[in-house]
Structure 1
Amino acid sequence: MAELIYPTNVSLDGFIEDEDGRFDWLPGDDDVFAAHTELMRSAGTLLYGRRLYEMMAVWETDPALAGRSPAAAAFATAWQAPTKVVYSTSLTASSTANTRIERAFDAEQVRALKAAADRDLLIGGADLAAQAFAAGLIDEVQLYVLPIVVGGGKPGLPTGMRVGLDLLDQRRFDSGVVLLRYSPSSR
């Protein structure tokens, strides 16, 4: 069975965007970008909320983005390859190939996707990930912790629930970003 992995960039105080909805403080580090690309290459399916999907779709819809560098081209290729499932009540059509829209998160449907998949699934969007956490579907959390405190905003991890985590691995990047990999524990 494939695993459902939740990777996200967070500030040191745990936010994916600041109080103004900005995330312009995310890393521009080539090594961090390469790590994201490698993770993307491992995925067969991406599960996204609407906002994250719309932000990431440019990796397919804007060819100039891939033309910026070999690293950008590699990420664009890796992002375009997986099947995408977008959970949205407002989208009526996708702007990318190999993408389907679902109106609501269905835990049983995701369990079936995991059971049938031969490659891992990545889930993106804090609200969507919180639903997967609540359903016990997350197999791994990958937090790219950035060396910045933003003081508030949208949390990267679910609020209002307790989830024990066991550290699997850690990696420090030259930029000061630290990747922390965890699996949910039975604590």
Structure 2
Amino acid sequence: MGKLIYAANISLDGFLEDEAGSFDWAVPDEAIHEFWNEHERHIGTSLYGRRMYEAMRVWESDDWLTDYPPVVREYAEIWRDADKVVYSTSLADVSTARTRIERQFDPEAVRALKENSESDLSIGGAGIAVEAFRHGLVDECVLLLCPVLVGGGKPALPRGVRLDLELLDHRRFDNGVVYVRHAVRHPD
């Protein structure tokens, strides 16, 4: 059975992007890229909302990566090797391999996907992650806290949802980013 892991770069004040929709403050250095590469190696399926998928699909092509370090090109390979599910009512089709569209978020279908998966799953995109949190589907949170306050924008974590967490791991990077990994304690 796979775990569903919510993973994100977030500002110290808890946002995925600022009020203008920018997340340029979260551009990873080489050490952060290495961290995400190692994390993503264990993901068999990524669940995305439409906007997150549209941001991530750049990794489908290597054309723009020729001048980037090997660690960045490696991330593209890892991303392409995972299956992807995009939840969208408006997306007509997908432009990446190993990708399918679901028109609505079905908690029972996600539970079944977790139960039948031999590897972990990730969920990305604030809207779709909120649904997963509300339905008790998220097993872990992997957050990279960036040393910046953006003052507002898209919240990284759901509002109005109470979750008890258990710290599993943490680390400080040289650039001031702090990694925390928490298990979600599900009530019995």
Does TM, scored on the shorter chain, surpass 0.5?
yes
Q: Which aligned pairs between 1:22-41 and structure 2 lie closer than 5 A?
A: 22-41=22-41
Q: The residue matched to 1:97 in structure 2 has which SS?
A: coil
Amino acid at match of 1:149: L
Q: Which aligned pairs between 1:37-116 and structure 2 lie closer than 5 A?
A: 37-61=37-61, 63-65=63-65, 68-116=68-116
Q: The residue matched to 1:79 in structure 2 has which SS?
A: helix
1:132 & 1:145 partners in 2: Cα distance? 21
Quote the residue 1:171 is aligned against.
171
How many residues align structurally? 187
Q: Which runs of 4+ in 1 moved over 6 A?
A: none
- Kept in 1: contact 2:62–2:76 (CA 8 A): no
- Kept in 2: contact 1:59–1:65 (CA 8 A): no
Q: CA deviation at 1:186?
A: 4.3
2:85 & 2:186 partners in 1: Cα distance? 28
Quote the residue 2:152 is aligned against.
152
Amino acid at match of 1:31: A
Q: CA deviation at 1:61?
A: 3.4
Quote the residue 2:132 is aligned against.
132
Over the residues paired in the alignment, what is the CA RMSD in angstroms?
Answer: 1.2
- State the TM-score, normalized to the length of structure 1: 0.96
- Kept in 2: contact 1:170–1:178 (CA 8 A): yes
For 1:11-34, what per-residue CA distance to the aligned partner results, in whole angstroms no more than 9, with x for missing partners? Answer: 000000001111111133211111
- Kept in 2: contact 1:61–1:95 (CA 8 A): no
2:51 & 2:4 partners in 1: Cα distance? 20
Quote the residue 1:119 is aligned against.
119
Q: The residue matched to 1:57 in structure 2 has which SS?
A: helix
Amino acid at match of 1:70: P
The unaligned stretches of length 5 or more in structure 1 are none
- Kept in 2: contact 1:59–1:79 (CA 8 A): yes
For 1:130-155, what per-residue CA distance to the aligned partner results, in whole angstroms no more than 9, with x for missing partners? Answer: 10011101010001000000011110
- State the TM-score, normalized to the length of structure 2: 0.96
2:100 & 2:7 partners in 1: Cα distance? 21
- Kept in 1: contact 2:9–2:26 (CA 8 A): yes
For 1:101-156, what per-residue CA distance to the aligned partner results, in whole angstroms no more than 9, with x for missing partners? Answer: 00111110001111111010010011111100111010100010000000111100
2:66 & 2:89 partners in 1: Cα distance? 30
Amino acid at match of 2:170: Q
1:96 & 1:40 partners in 2: Cα distance? 17
2:121 & 2:166 partners in 1: Cα distance? 20
Residue identity (%): 53
- Kept in 1: contact 2:136–2:186 (CA 8 A): no
- Kept in 1: contact 2:41–2:78 (CA 8 A): yes
